[in-house]
Amino acid sequence: GEDVEQSLFLSVREGDSSVINCTYTDSSSTYLYWYKQEPGAGLQLLTYIFSNMDMKQDQRLTVLLNKKDKHLSLRIADTQTGDSAIYFCAEAYGATNKLIFGTGTLLAVQP
């Protein structure tokens, strides 16, 4: 079945760049998403990328998409303590409106 994989944990120092990686399985996904979950809260959309794009930049965030390898990454420049959260990638499942979420990556930012 469909599976979206992420590493579970990433630790960086404040001011460094963070790179969170994701591999997905459905090559027909039109959109791929990155969500952020702060402690005790629901998920919030951080950014998304359309499948015909290779890269999308939004302030400190850069999303890279490698469709051949089905690999998605999120780079956060100048990581701050407020970026500490769980980050989920998600792909749209075929022609449905369902999303398949990865396991989530806990980003810990050390001061």
- Tell the smallest beta-carbon distance from residue 57 to another protein (Å): 19
- Which residues contact another protein (rule: CB under 8 A)? 4, 8, 30-31, 33, 35, 40-45, 48, 88, 92, 97-99, 101-104
- Tell the smallest beta-carbon distance from residue 16 to another protein (Å): 25
User: What is the number of other CB atoms lying within 10 angstroms of the CB of residue 75?
Assistant: 17
Half-sphere exposure of 101 (CA within 13 A, CB side): 12
- Tell the smallest beta-carbon distance from residue 84 to another protein (Å): 16
Work out whether the CA dihedral 13, 85, 49, 7 comes out positive or negative. Answer: positive
